[in-house]
Structure 1
Amino acid sequence: MERKNRVAERFDWTLTLLLLMFFLVSCAAIYSGQTSDQYSGSNFLLQQIFWYAVGAAIIAVIMYFDSDQLNRLSWVIYGIGILVLLILAFAPVTEFTPKINGAQSWFITPVGSIQPSEFMKVFLIMGLSRTICKHHEKYLTKTMKTDYILLLKIGLVTGLPVGLVMLQPDLGTSLVMLAIMTGMIFISGISWKIILSLYGTGAAIACTILYFVIWAPEILEKYLNVKPYQFDRIYAWLDPHNNAAGYHLSNSLKAIGSGLLTGKGFGERKVYIPESHTDFIFSVIGEEYGFLGGSIVIGLFFLLIYHLTKTALETVESYNTYICVGIISMLTFHVFQNIGMTIQVLPITGIPLPFISYGGSSLMGNMFAMGLVYSIHYHHRNYMFSSRNNYTEPDTKAMERSHSSS
């Protein structure tokens, strides 16, 4: 009985409650998103429930391993992810490895399509966490030289999967991996002089490219061999109502705007949006539940980020801290990008909303990440305040006797 109580105390009930809330929101939104003639005969709700069950099993397996074991397995898991991406990159287009919407990113299996890059995001977090930990163990004295060495290591570990994903091509997932790398760099201990100069230069280059895309696209076409159709996403983002490529965004704005404060009600959708059960799931929520419903969903994500931050601050092992920061970076970028693209704040990149959008690979990858958090909480919570737990009250009477005798 005492053992069961200890297990219950170490289990992360807060995270479980948050995931249950996401599950309910996902089921309601997907049920509404799939109710159109386009998806007649497909039951994405049942499939999403199945993937949630698989995700729960993944969490149970990952939670079994403690941080030391996961740390040692990091390179093995990272290597397996790279190997699978290599196989996908050089595989011919077949029924098993088809090209969908211009990208060869999936393996078709009897239980559904599997997208390896969704898992690779979490594998990258594990690889970067081990890389930073081993670097600090090797270089006890921190200098500008060691910082540049660490930056090079982080760049190489990130660059390999990013390059393989871009070959598919999949810009959205590549951006997520770069966001993970950015978050890890910020807490890796690298000098801020290096970080500011690096990202300052990157921001200047990005702004310059955006300027040419908007005002002088012919220069990019001439010198960088960029095709005109590749600018469509930017043009659709800036002016969706007068651009054929902005159909999704235009209807998304109509749907969210028509929801007003409280929404039209469950199942009362009027605005048609293709793929509304996947990338544009937030548009469904905004139309049916309005500003209040959208705010509640965003609030759930803030609670999740807060809980992950709290876990990162409480753990005493640096590897666990890096894991939490990597997951926070991944989820934060996903949420801001997905919701931002539905309200015209950011360009459309095809990034799903974590735990809510339909998608087996995305959900399983995120549940794998949550399994790491469960493991941290389960195996290390009893060590968080070990100095306090092992503390014994001093024998004041003995101290008084010793003082009197002296």
Structure 2
Amino acid sequence: MEKYTKKTDRFDWTLTLLLFLFFLISCIAINSAQSTGQYGDRNFMIMQVVWYVVGAIIITITIFFDSFQLKRLAWILYGFGLLLLIAVYVAPESIAPYRNGAKSWFVIPAIGQIQPSEFVKVFLILALSRVITSHHEKYIVKSLKTDFGLLLKLGVTTAVPVGLIMLQPDLGTALVILSILTGIILVSGISWKLILPIYGTGASLGGFIIYLVIIRPELLEKYLKVQTYQFNRIYSWLDPYTYASGSSYHLVKSLSAIGSGLISGKGFRNSEVYVPESHTDFIFSVIGEEYGFIGGSIVISLFFLLIYHLIKTALDTNDSFNTYVCTGIISMITFHVFQNVGMTIQVLPITGIPLPFISYGGSSLMGNMFAMGLVYSIHYHHRNYMFSSRKSLSA
């Protein structure tokens, strides 16, 4: 027997509260960051409010698409994303200029910069979810052969956008996509007899390369033709104060800002340490300096609550496609938070990865809000059943 509920009861109010809190934190932090005077007359806080409004519109549109419709759109959006990545690569510099050594953005008059890879991440989540559900529908009886086939499909689907993104080049976004792939593979039902050797080999290879970078860089220079300057990101991460005037400048300033905030911080707009790009990738440095350990802990706790809510949503649905979509979003958000916060406190090397929902950036925020729109859709298009698990409205 079905227990019907009002539309308002099916709306995800918990997620709405969390996003509203992130909105407030973002506006406060960006307002403080832009007070340093390095940005002239540009008001990034007002622009962030505008991007949040656009994000809310994206959520409103996305919520009306159920899982069946999203499955049908998955490959269309994936293909559209690939076309955008190709376009930004071949476009003239007047349209897609190089910024910080990367050609990753379209410059649109009266709108600003749009980074296609931020949307491709979410398009890829839909495509990978479609690949897994279609594979399982085709192969009811599982074997190592069918699992390897699925693994190959997922790898190829991911390799195409990763390759295009590395041409820009944008290592940070490529790492996010690989984290999405990893998370989805772990819940895809592929046998651990395949997963453990592959990921074990990958982890060992990565560790060995880092070892060579630190201990025997001359081998990489000789056999892989890697240039010495390309090691600087690792060196500056491990020993930032030696490279404080160069490649470690951002990290040293970030450590000084967060460390000076102590337990409770210096207060709103009382930042004293100049941190470049503090309104974007290093927004957590502003939070740490002005609100200290307490403020930073609150922000991280909110992200834990968000991830917990996404996990709960994934477990509540009995639609496998929705579960994979939630898993991909969880992997994406988790990696973003871990990497962004980690790089500001020297736990991880610096990459150009923003803090979700808080760092300034229209493309990043719209991409994340689209992902949240998918979660809203999953939550909305389900009804509660008295004597059974939740059922999809699209079933």
TM-score bracket for this pair, using the shorter chain length: over 0.9
Moved over 6 A (4+): none
**What's the offset of the Cα at 1:228?**
1.3
Distance 1:288 1:379 in 2: 41
**What's the offset of the Cα at 1:12?**
0.3
**What is the letter of the counterpart of residue 204 of structure 2?**
A
**What's the offset of the Cα at 1:385?**
5.3
Give per-residue Cα distances to partners, 1:202-229, cap 9 Å, x unaligned. 0111011101111111111111111111
**What is the letter of the counterpart of residue 225 of structure 1?**
K
Give per-residue Cα distances to partners, 1:290-333, cap 9 Å, x unaligned. 00000000000000000000000000100000000000000000
Given candidates 292, 295, 308, the residue that maps to 1:293 is 295
**What's the offset of the Cα at 1:193?**
1.5
**What's the offset of the Cα at 1:282?**
0.4
Name the SS for the 1:35 alignment partner: helix
Give structure 2 stretches of 5+ with no counterpart.
Answer: none
Distance 1:319 1:388 in 2: 16
Distance 2:258 2:70 in 1: 42
Given candidates 275, 282, 285, the residue that maps to 1:283 is 285
Distance 1:19 1:387 in 2: 31
Name the SS for the 2:107 alignment partner: strand
Which residue pairs with 1:337 in the alignment? 339
Which residue pairs with 2:30 in the alignment? 30
**What is the letter of the counterpart of residue 76 of structure 1?**
I
Name the SS for the 1:295 alignment partner: helix
Name the SS for the 2:22 alignment partner: helix
**What's the offset of the Cα at 1:176?**
0.1
Which residue pairs with 2:105 in the alignment? 106
Q: Please say if residues 314 and 384 of structure 1, whose CA atoms lie closer than 8 Å, have aligned partners that are also in contact.
A: no
Name the SS for the 1:19 alignment partner: helix
Which residue pairs with 2:374 in the alignment? 372
Distance 1:262 1:389 in 2: 44
Distance 2:390 2:219 in 1: 66
Name the SS for the 1:42 alignment partner: coil
More helix by share: 1
Distance 1:132 1:101 in 2: 37
Which residue pairs with 1:387 in the alignment? 388
Pick which of 256-265 and 215-224 moved more: 215-224
* CA shift in 2, pair 1:386/1:42, >3 Å: farther
Give per-residue Cα distances to partners, 1:328-356, cap 9 Å, x unaligned. 00000000000000000000011000000
Which residue pairs with 1:123 in the alignment? 123
Aligned residues between the structures: 385
Which residue pairs with 2:310 in the alignment? 308
* CA shift in 2, pair 1:70/1:270, >3 Å: same
**What's the offset of the Cα at 1:91?**
2.1
**What's the offset of the Cα at 1:38?**
1.4
Q: Please say if residues 26 and 356 of structure 1, whose CA atoms lie closer than 8 Å, have aligned partners that are also in contact.
A: yes
Distance 1:242 1:359 in 2: 31
**What's the offset of the Cα at 1:388?**
7.2
Distance 1:249 1:387 in 2: 52
Which residue pairs with 1:150 in the alignment? 150
Name the SS for the 1:77 alignment partner: helix
* CA shift in 2, pair 1:290/1:388, >3 Å: closer
Which residue pairs with 2:65 in the alignment? 65
**What's the offset of the Cα at 1:5?**
7.2
Pick which of 84-93 and 97-106 moved more: 84-93
Q: Percent identity?
A: 66
* CA shift in 2, pair 1:325/1:255, >3 Å: same
* CA shift in 2, pair 1:109/1:192, >3 Å: same
**What is the letter of the counterpart of residue 119 of structure 1?**
F
Query: Under a length normalisation based on structure 1, what TM-score does the superposition of the two structures give?
Result: 0.93
Q: Could you say which structure has the larger radius of gyration?
A: 1
Alpha carbon RMSD of aligned pairs, Å? Answer: 1.4
Query: Under a length normalisation based on structure 2, what TM-score does the superposition of the two structures give?
Result: 0.95
Matches within 5 A, 1:191-210: 191-210=191-210
Distance 2:118 2:227 in 1: 28
Distance 1:77 1:200 in 2: 32
**What is the letter of the counterpart of residue 108 of structure 2?**
T
Q: Please say if residues 283 and 358 of structure 2, whose CA atoms lie closer than 8 Å, have aligned partners that are also in contact.
A: yes
Give structure 1 stretches of 5+ with no counterpart.
Answer: 391-406
